[in-house]
């Protein structure tokens, strides 16, 4: 069996990150908090970087996940690189693409919005709520 470092996206979507954010205010366990901070800080880092982590590796935000995890790091450190990465995560939010439907396909011409799904809207909403909560004081102009 090969040892690999990676991410499991259900850890930090669908409310998982929010549960950890709340638990971290209730449970005082330095080892856990250090591991969670490293996970947030080195989310996209290759194994070679993670294995040589000094505790400050990736402080420029290069490996952190855009959106709520970077926002969480900013709330802990006030490092502007994490705030910038958090706000960048909102730029990936789904866009509404109205498409005109007319002719024999519909009884009356309408504009249908495509490119949206329940999951995309839910995830974008969670990202926005958390980024506003954790780094509204570092909102870009």
Residue 131 lies in a domain: yes
Residues sharing a CB contact under 8 Å with residue 135, sequence separation 6 or more, in sequence order? 71, 74, 75, 82, 83, 86, 87
This prediction has a pTM of 0.80
- pLDDT grade for 2, boundaries at 50, 70 and 90: very low
Residue 4 lies in a domain: no
Residue 117 lies in a domain: no
Contact 64, 44 (CB under 8 A): yes
Range of the domain at 32: 9-92+127-138
Residue 115 lies in a domain: no
Per-residue confidence (pLDDT) for residue 5, from 0 to 100: 61
Query: Structural domain tally of the chain?
Result: 1
């Amino acid at each position: 069996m090969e040892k690999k470092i990676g991410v499991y996206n259900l850890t930090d979507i669908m409310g998982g990150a929010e549960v950890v954010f709340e638990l971290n205010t209730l449970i005082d366990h330095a080892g856990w908090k250090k591991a969670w901070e490293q996970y947030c800080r080195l989310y996209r880092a290759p194994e070679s970087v993670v294995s040589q982590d000094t505790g400050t590796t990736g402080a420029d935000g290069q490996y952190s996940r855009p959106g709520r995890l970077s926002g969480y790091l900013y709330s802990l450190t006030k490092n502007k690189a994490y705030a910038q990465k958090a706000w960048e995560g909102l730029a990936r939010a789904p866009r509404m693409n109205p498409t005109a439907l007319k002719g024999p396909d519909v009884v009356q011409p309408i504009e249908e919005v495509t490119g949206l799904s329940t999951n995309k809207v839910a995830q974008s909403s969670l990202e926005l709520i958390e980024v506003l909560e954790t780094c509204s004081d570092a909102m870009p102009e």
